[in-house]
């Protein structure tokens, strides 16, 4: 059987674990508070992704501006999808639109979950810098002292049960220190605002009755995770380029079924987008009830950072673009009205001249 620790040692994400662990340790040393360390770690990580977010938004705006040319390509190539895709990619390349930034952002957010989870589930390694050998030795010692000392599922990568045992069982802590597995200055306080961030928020009502002081405060994390996720999701929808036009087109489709398809999205695509949109908040909510509360804190701060980024990007790029687009449309409409009036005037003048000509002939 392959040793799990050997497999983890060769994990492709190991460099990320080391970097995130070092940064968390530095922040913990600076603030002396585990919750603040997680908060500022999240701010730094999400802050580094802001340029990518801006690039993605710029690309989206360029794609929106090229929608007219894209429609021309569709008419030109018709059912020849291969040539249409080639021409579309060439057009995007020439105009600096498209690219991988839109796909890369959610991918990175997903990847960064793993080092954060590794840190919050293994604080003795990443905060206290206790070796895996000593952690294994403490686990074996705890099991030898009885299964109630530490949980059965404790291992080197997820040793929350071991941290709890060291904090609550004086005899076990003394024995670990005596055997040289741990130094007293390696013990860290993992509380934040009176809440134990190593604890997992409970979905079972019985636990709230048995230990209300512990579990009721932790319930704030699932509530905030869900609330901030929904707010972020709604802002993404409302602040995207062309939202107003898309909404108006959908309303016209609703009022007149003959216009169906003019909004640019069919029912299947719309349903698929809705499913993808709600999937992330559902996953985030589920993790808050299955992982240490520190993970919930990460989700909340990350969502707040995401909301702030959305607002900044909207007022810096999307709103000016929408304003410029509206001005151009207004000018086009004014020119169209002017040319229409001129055509009517010319038609009227021709009619009068024709009438005079006929009258002259009669005379």
Across the range 154-166, mean pLDDT stands at 88
Q: Is the pTM of this model over 0.75?
A: yes
pLDDT at 37: 96
360, part of any domain? no
341, part of any domain? no
For residue 12, pLDDT beyond 50: yes
26 and 111 co-located in one domain? yes
Mean pLDDT of the chain: 79
**Number of compact structural domains in the chain:** 2
32 and 121 co-located in one domain? yes
Across the range 17-27, mean pLDDT stands at 93
134 and 195 co-located in one domain? no
Where among 160, 187, 214 does a domain terminate? 187
**Confidence label for 82 from pLDDT (cuts 50, 70 and 90):** confident
pLDDT at 351: 59
338, part of any domain? no
pLDDT greater at residue 202 or residue 341? 202
Where among 319, 342, 357 does a domain terminate? 319
pLDDT at 232: 87
69 and 119 co-located in one domain? yes
For residue 100, pLDDT beyond 60: no
Q: Residues 6 or more apart from 268 whose CB is under 8 A from it? A: none
Across the range 193-198, mean pLDDT stands at 92
297 and 179 co-located in one domain? no
98 and 234 co-located in one domain? yes
193 and 311 co-located in one domain? yes
For residue 125, pLDDT beyond 70: yes
307 and 203 co-located in one domain? yes
Q: Do residues 165 and 131 make contact, with C-beta atoms less than 8 angstroms apart?
A: no
179 and 224 co-located in one domain? no
pLDDT greater at residue 238 or residue 72? 238
77 and 172 co-located in one domain? no
For residue 248, pLDDT beyond 90: no
Where among 143, 172, 187 does a domain terminate? 187
20 vs 11: CA distance, rounded Å: 15
For residue 195, pLDDT beyond 50: yes
For residue 223, pLDDT beyond 90: yes
pLDDT at 99: 57
141 and 225 co-located in one domain? no
Total residues belonging to the chain? 363
173 and 228 co-located in one domain? no
Range of the domain at 140: 128-187
């Amino acid at each position: 059987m392959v040793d799990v620790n050997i497999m983890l040692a060769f994990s492709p994400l190991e460099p990320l674990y080391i970097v995130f662990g070092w940064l968390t340790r530095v922040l913990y040393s600076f603030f002396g508070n585990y919750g603040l360390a997680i908060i500022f770690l999240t701010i730094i990580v999400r802050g580094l992704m802001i340029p990518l977010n801006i690039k993605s938004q710029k690309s989206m705006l360029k794609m929106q501006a090229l929608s007219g040319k894209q429609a021309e390509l569709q008419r030109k190539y018709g059912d020849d999808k291969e040539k249409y895709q080639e021409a579309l990619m060439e057009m995007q390349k020439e105009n600096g639109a498209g690219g991988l930034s839109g796909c890369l952002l959610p991918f990175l957010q997903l990847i960064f979950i793993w080092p954060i989870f590794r840190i919050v589930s293994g604080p003795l390694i990443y905060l206290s810098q206790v070796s895996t050998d000593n952690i294994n030795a403490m686990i074996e010692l705890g099991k030898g002292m009885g299964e109630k000392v530490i949980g059965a599922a404790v291992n080197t990568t997820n040793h929350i049960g071991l941290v709890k045992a060291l904090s609550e069982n004086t005899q076990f802590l003394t024995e670990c220190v005596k055997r040289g597995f741990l130094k007293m200055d390696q013990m860290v306080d993992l509380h934040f605002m009176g809440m134990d961030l190593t604890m997992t928020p409970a979905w079972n009502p019985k636990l709230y009755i048995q230990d209300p002081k512990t579990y009721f405060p932790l319930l704030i994390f699932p509530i905030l995770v869900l609330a901030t996720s929904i707010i972020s999701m709604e802002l993404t929808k409302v602040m995207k380029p062309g939202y107003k036009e898309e909404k108006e087109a959908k309303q016209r489709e609703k009022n007149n079924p003959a216009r169906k398809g003019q909004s640019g999205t069919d029912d299947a695509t719309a349903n698929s987008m809705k499913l993808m949109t709600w999937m992330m908040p559902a996953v985030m909510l589920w993790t808050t009830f299955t992982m240490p509360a520190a993970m919930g804190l990460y989700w909340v701060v990350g969502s707040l950072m995401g909301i702030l980024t959305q607002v900044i990007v909207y007022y810096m790029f999307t709103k000016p673009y929408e304003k410029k687009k509206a001005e151009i449309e207004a000018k086009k409409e004014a020119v169209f009205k002017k040319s229409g009036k001129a055509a009517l005037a010319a038609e009227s003048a021709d009619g009068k001249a024709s009438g005079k000509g006929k009258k002259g002939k009669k005379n």
